[in-house]
């Protein structure tokens, strides 16, 4: 009897061990995937801030001589708060030069433009006659790199800037691009806000000239309220 009890106890222990060793494992739940809300977003396009420029049209006796004197005068311009944006040379008259400078202080820039020192520097550089100086507020500017060095620069007065702008925008960038012109700068006069200054980079000069002197363009300008004959110049960027 005692032996039987020992065997029975051993059987129960074996059964207990077997049962524990074969207990089914509880499946572990996979962690729930959460949506990544921290994914990097593309940076927003920088907001364009209008700025003022001084633009000088001048005729020179000898371009290389003028350019040398102009470059040597850079520190004086910087002291007046001017930073060069570009030097353009007329394609039809290589001695007609346009220079544009960004203005940090309009009062200092105007004082500089009318100073005896600038007059003397221009005379020494070989500037012929009296230069024409404009101050503009740049409202739009595409400063992306372009391969073409050729430019069309248009300056004219309009009856009403806002009315002119509606017509200009209704024509559209795409239409002008198809005419060989890419919008670069749109500005209006500081002292006379109805003076408009527009710069285009040229991808096809033949198309651009045909468009600028076409009857359609003339009618468009008239409908936009352009007064008098616009100053249309064809230039090459020298920087």
Per the DSSP assignment, residues forming a β-bridge with 200 are: 152, 183
Kindly report, residue by residue over 165-180, the tens digit of the pLDDT: 999 999 999 999 999 9
Position 5 scores a pLDDT of: 41
CB 54 within 8 A of CB 82: yes
Q: Residue 139, class by beta-carbon neighbours within 10 Å (0-12 exposed, 13-18 middle, 19+ buried)? A: middle
Return the structure tokens found at 217: 């363009």
What would the mean pLDDT of 49-57 be, rounded to a whole number? 97
pLDDT in tens, 137-154: 999 999 899 999 999 999
Q: Distance between CA atoms of 82 and 127, rounded to whole angstroms?
A: 20
pTM of the model: 0.80
Distance (Å, rounded) from C-alpha 181 to C-alpha 210?
11
Query: pLDDT tens digits, residue range 94-115?
Result: 999 999 999 999 999 999 999 9
User: Helices (H) and strands (E) in the chain — how many of each?
Assistant: 9, 8
- Domains contained in the chain, CATH given: 51-237 (3.30.70.100)
What is the tens place of the pLDDT at every residue in 10-41?
444 443 434 444 444 444 555 555 555 556 67
Cα–chain center distance at 119: 32
Give the residue, 29 or 217, on which the prediction is more confident: 217
Question: Quick check: 201 pLDDT over 80?
Answer: yes
In whole angstroms, what is the distance from residue 42 CA to residue 6 CA? 79
Strands 181-189 and 150-158: unpaired
Q: To the nearest 5 percent, what fractions of the chain are helix, strand and coil?
A: 35, 35, 30
Distance CA 214, CA 236 (A): 22
Contact 205, 219 (CB under 8 A): no
- The model's confidence at residue 73, banded by pLDDT at 50, 70 and 90, is very high
Q: What integer best gives the mean pLDDT of the chain?
A: 88
**Which H or E run contains 89?**
strand 82-90
Q: Which of 80, 68, 127, 73 is nearest to 104 (CA)?
A: 80
Measured in whole angstroms, how far is the alpha carbon of residue 180 from the centre of its chain? 19
H or E stretch covering 157? strand 150-158
Question: What is the structure's pLDDT at 46?
Answer: 77
d(CA 204, CA 173) in angstroms, rounded, equals 15
């Amino acid at each position: 009897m005692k032996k039987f009890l020992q065997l029975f106890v051993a059987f129960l222990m074996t059964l207990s061990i077997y049962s524990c060793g074969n207990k089914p494992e509880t499946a572990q739940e996979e962690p729930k995937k959460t949506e990544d809300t921290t994914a990097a977003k593309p940076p927003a396009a920088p907001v364009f801030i209008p700025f003022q420029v001084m633009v000088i049209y001048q005729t020179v006796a000898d371009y290389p001589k003028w350019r040398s004197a102009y470059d040597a005068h850079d520190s004086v311009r910087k002291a007046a708060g001017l930073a060069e944006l570009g030097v353009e040379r007329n394609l039809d008259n290589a001695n007609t030069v346009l220079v544009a400078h960004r203005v940090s202080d309009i009062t200092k820039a105007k004082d500089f433009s009318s100073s005896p020192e600038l007059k003397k520097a221009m005379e020494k550089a070989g500037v012929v006659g009296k230069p024409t100086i404009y101050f503009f507020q740049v409202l739009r500017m595409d400063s992306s790199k372009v391969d073409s060095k050729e430019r069309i620069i248009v300056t004219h007065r309009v009856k009403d800037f806002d009315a002119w702008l509606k017509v200009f925008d209704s024509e559209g960038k795409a239409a002008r691009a198809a005419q060989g012109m890419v919008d670069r700068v749109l500005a209006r006069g500081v002292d006379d806000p109805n003076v408009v200054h527009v710069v285009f980079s040229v991808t096809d000069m033949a198309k651009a000239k045909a468009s600028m002197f076409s009857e359609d363009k003339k009618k468009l300008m008239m409908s936009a309220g352009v007064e008098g004959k616009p100053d249309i110049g064809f230039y090459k960027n020298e920087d």
